[in-house]
Structure 1
Amino acid sequence: QELRGEVWAYASSVMCFVGGQLLGDEKELLKWSYHEWDYRDFKPDALYQAIAEDFYAKYLKNSQASSTHVFVYLEIAIEEQPVGRLLFELFSDACPRTCENFRALCAGGVTSPRDGRELTYKNSLFHRLVKNGWIQGGDIITGKGDGGESIYGPTFEDESFSVRHKGRGVLGMANKGRHSNGSQFYITLQPAPYLDKKYVAFGQLIEGTEVLQRLEAVPTYNERPTVDCKIINCGTFEP
């Protein structure tokens, strides 16, 4: 939170801090350690990669075990070309009904009581991109941005405004006014305090920053992406 936009402009996947200050990536850390302590490291990069992946998996497992938070993923394709995965942490303790709606739409297997169709984000589009604002998807009915349906019925109530839009990657429910949440959602591209207490935020992007950048860079016409940005797969993430 203290670094704010600096984090999202940071190119490397490794961040090293000394005395609470951002030093740089692992190469900068090795330069610093040599300069300060005459230390050289000869271990292979593959070893550190394995250690990092193991620690990350343990972190996710511990997070699930110590809280009610769940993790879900969206696999994205732009112009039919897979570009990677967005992984979200859902704040189920703050917004249990909202999180369960999103989780169920990611997992699939729920049918609409109105027409029996499966309710799922799979194969749905991101239909709106507001530059420096947010990217929006989840119209699982028409894909045009004028439809959607929740697992509870056409819409459900605003559950809580306790999660603030204080950074990039905040996940929230799009609506058409009070208590009109369906399946449409948005992901913020920067802090958006003007959305607080108007839209229910319930999750945070924790992996896939480069995928969000790819989506953000897509050309638009009247806030509509000019190429298809599709969720090609989705589900509950198990570390």
Structure 2
Amino acid sequence: MFMRRRLAEWARQSTRLQCENMELVTKIRRQFLLGGRVDSRWQHRPSASTQYYQNRVNFLQRVQKENQYLYKRIIYTNPRVTITKTHKQDWVRNRHEIVIKAQCKFVLFPPVPHEDIEDLAFVSPVGVKRPRVYLTLRIRGGAMIGELGVELFTDVCPLTCQLFTELLAGDGVGYSYVGTRFFRKVPNLYWSGGDVVRDNGFGCYAQKGRRRPIGAENYHFSHSMQGLLSMRVTRDDEVCAIFNITFKPLTQFDLQNIIFGRVIRPCNTYNSIREIGSAFNSQPVVEVVATRRRVGRRWLHGLRNTNLTSLHNIRMRNRES
């Protein structure tokens, strides 16, 4: 009996809610058909002339408020034009600075610019002199781009730096960085090059005189700034002489590449190449045309890679046949 009474009460509540909803929908529909004047203060619809008068009165009041606001802004806003007194003060200060600088000693050559190193971890330790090498880049079939100066971290990665400098000069059996191209160029991200075996990123160079290839020495540094040189490490823990030049911090390269040097910045060549290339196209082909490093009192220039030339001739013969 109790459940029946509850069911009857629930049925009455449901019916009442349905009626209230229908009444609400009817009122909304009626207001919509009357023009949507839900919040209107008019108790009755005035004549057309009265409506026009009311609209004009409201417009006049709104214009008056806007004029008062503009008048206050004009009165209380400070002038943006520099006054004569400020110009005179600036001239007195500049004249004093000119007189002071004119009394200083004349320097024909400007001082050496400060190098850009965002992360102090890459600063050379006290008492350690790191060697510097230079790579000249060119667009194949086009003009020269310029020269990149690189500082090598021989105190941290001696074997990796030795492999790099050996290929800069040429290992004596035809392998060298001179004549190789950057096979992957992602603008504003990184470049990859240094494949002295196949020149396409699939080769792996084995250093002469070694029974085992060079593995990852350490992952001392992180890719925390731009302008770093890192050498790729394969899944077999093998270094194949392929290196990257980064144009931004790339922490995703950590524990996969060994950082062994940095580009000496500021460098116009570095700023120029960061916009060149596409991730989906190998053109334009940018290659290393010359290298040099200082050994004692003389400059040692790199030899050209002759194995790539013979490999290219074999490919051409296979295509013709």
Q: Distance in 1 between matches of 2:102 and 2:145?
A: 34
**Greater RCO, CA 8 A, separation 6+:** 1
Unaligned segments of structure 1, at least 5 residues: 1-30, 57-62, 112-116
Matches within 5 A, 1:54-203: 66-79=127-140, 80-108=142-170, 110-111=171-172, 117-152=173-208, 155-203=213-261
CA contact (8 A) 2:184 2:279 kept: no
CA contact (8 A) 1:103 1:235 kept: no
Residue 126 of structure 1: SS of its match in structure 2? coil
CA contact (8 A) 1:85 1:208 kept: no
Q: Distance in 2 between matches of 1:170 and 1:77?
A: 20
The structural deviation recorded for 1:78 is: 1.7
CA contact (8 A) 1:73 1:106 kept: no
* TM-score between the two structures when normalised by the length of structure 2: 0.52
Instruction: Name the residue aligned to 2:64.
Output: none
1:40 aligns with 2:89: no
Q: Distance in 1 between matches of 2:132 and 2:214?
A: 22
CA contact (8 A) 1:175 1:199 kept: yes
* Structure-2 change in CA distance of 1:162 and 1:34 (3 Å): farther
* Structure-2 change in CA distance of 1:45 and 1:219 (3 Å): farther
Q: Distance in 2 between matches of 1:178 and 1:44?
A: 61
The structural deviation recorded for 1:41 is: 4.3
Aligned-CA RMSD value: 3.3
Number of residues of Structure 1 aligned to a counterpart in Structure 2: 193
User: 2:216 is matched by which residue type in structure 1?
Assistant: D
Structure 1, residues 37-65: CA drift from partner, whole Å, max 9, x if none?
4533499998133x538x99xxxxxx799
Q: Distance in 1 between matches of 2:275 and 2:106?
A: 31
Q: Larger % of helix: which?
A: 2
Residue 97 of structure 1: SS of its match in structure 2? helix
Structure 1, residues 185-225: CA drift from partner, whole Å, max 9, x if none?
00111011111122111111114632123222223252x43
1:230 aligns with 2:287: yes
Q: Distance in 1 between matches of 2:101 and 2:269?
A: 35
Unaligned segments of structure 2, at least 5 residues: 1-90, 116-123, 298-321
Q: Distance in 2 between matches of 1:44 and 1:135?
A: 45
Matches within 5 A, 1:199-218: 199-207=257-265, 209-218=267-276
**Identical amino acids, percent of aligned pairs:** 22
Residue 99 of structure 1: SS of its match in structure 2? helix
CA contact (8 A) 1:218 1:225 kept: no
Q: Larger % of strand: which?
A: 1
CA contact (8 A) 2:187 2:279 kept: no
The structural deviation recorded for 1:85 is: 0.7
Q: Distance in 2 between matches of 1:35 and 1:176?
A: 64
CA contact (8 A) 1:218 1:226 kept: no
Q: Distance in 2 between matches of 1:177 and 1:46?
A: 55
User: 1:133 is matched by which residue type in structure 2?
Assistant: L
